[in-house]
């Protein structure tokens, strides 16, 4: 594992050099990961709001533990692992495999709330891609018309259209998740702004390891079950007071 992480770190360093030589790609990555991207990601807490209500998460340390566990056991083993395959399917113009992986992602959502968030954000990103003047998403219209799409799947399409490399795209996807969760925790725990920034530093240090896990996992091993996350997401629907959608 140490060798794998060292290799990935080297790859990330190479990616950064490439991006520095191609500022437009770095800017596109930042744009895709921006909180200003109109996909509604910050309307959902991904189960965190109920976890805080139950005091499973109540300070900076437990917030870190909750988000890190989800990153390594759910995002890495499901979203990022399938992201790699979605990206490769796009590179091979293999829409059949792309749709199969998309359906796999949707099937892995363990509550109606998690499924709602995934599909609503995916739909919003499709709508945005179609309206961007300088992005030609027309080749993917047949895909868009077939069925509902996971946010992960559409994020992969956007990354491919923006000519981002796989590692950068996966890293950006992780950032959108971490930024969302830390922003929610800042409001709900609550955390101070400096605590939130320290959390982002600590959590982003774990991204290379998560990507390494994702890119080495066998297809038969893709998927994870986090019962407490699933229950928190399901119970959030009947939580007495809520800031986030359910």
Residue 211: inside a domain: yes
Asked if the structure places residue 6 within a domain, the reply is yes
- Which range marks the domain in which residue 165 is found? 2-13+58-237
Neighbouring CB atoms inside 10 A of 7's CB total 12
How is residue 200 written in tokens?
A: 């982002």
Chain CA centroid to CA 29, Å = 13
Q: Decide if 44 is inside a domain.
A: no
pTM of the model: 0.89
Q: Render each residue's pLDDT in the chain as its tens digit; 246 residues.
A: 444 444 444 544 544 454 445 889 999 999 999 989 999 888 899 999 999 999 999 999 999 999 999 999 999 999 999 999 999 999 999 999 999 999 999 999 999 999 999 999 999 999 999 999 999 999 999 888 877 999 999 999 999 999 999 999 999 999 999 999 999 999 999 999 999 999 999 999 999 999 999 999 999 999 988 999 999 999 998 888 888 886
Would residue 178 count as lying in a domain? yes
CA distances to 40, 161, 238 from 110, rounded to whole Å, are: 20, 30, 17
- Residue 24 maps to a domain: no
The answer to whether the CB of 83 falls within 8 A of the CB of 154 is no
Answer yes or no: are the C-beta atoms of 51 and 201 closer than 8 Å.
no
């Amino acid at each position: 594992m140490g060798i794998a992480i060292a290799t990935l770190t080297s790859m990330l360093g190479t990616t950064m050099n490439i991006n520095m030589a191609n500022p437009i790609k770095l800017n596109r990555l930042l744009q895709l990961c921006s909180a200003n991207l109109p996909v509604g990601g910050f309307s959902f807490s991904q189960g965190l709001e109920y976890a805080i209500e139950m005091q499973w998460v109540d300070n900076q340390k437990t917030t870190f533990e909750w988000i890190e566990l989800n990153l390594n056991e759910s995002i890495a083993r499901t979203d990022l692992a399938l992201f790699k395959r979605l990206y490769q399917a796009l590179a091979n113009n293999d829409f059949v495999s792309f749709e199969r992986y998309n359906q796999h992602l949707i099937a892995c959502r363990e509550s109606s709330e998690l499924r709602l968030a995934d599909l609503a954000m995916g739909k919003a990103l499709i709508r945005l891609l179609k309206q961007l003047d300088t992005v030609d998403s027309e080749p993917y219209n047949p895909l868009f018309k077939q069925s509902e799409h996971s946010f992960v799947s559409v994020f992969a399409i956007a990354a491919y259209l923006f000519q981002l490399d796989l590692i950068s795209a996966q890293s950006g996807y992780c950032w959108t998740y971490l930024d969302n969760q830390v922003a929610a925790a800042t409001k709900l725990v609550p955390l101070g702004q400096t605590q939130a920034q320290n959390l982002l530093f600590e959590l982003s240090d774990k991204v290379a390891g998560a990507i390494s896990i994702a890119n080495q996992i066998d297809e038969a091993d893709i998927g994870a079950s986090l019962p407490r996350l699933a229950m928190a997401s399901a119970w959030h629907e009947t939580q007495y007071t809520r800031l986030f959608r359910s």
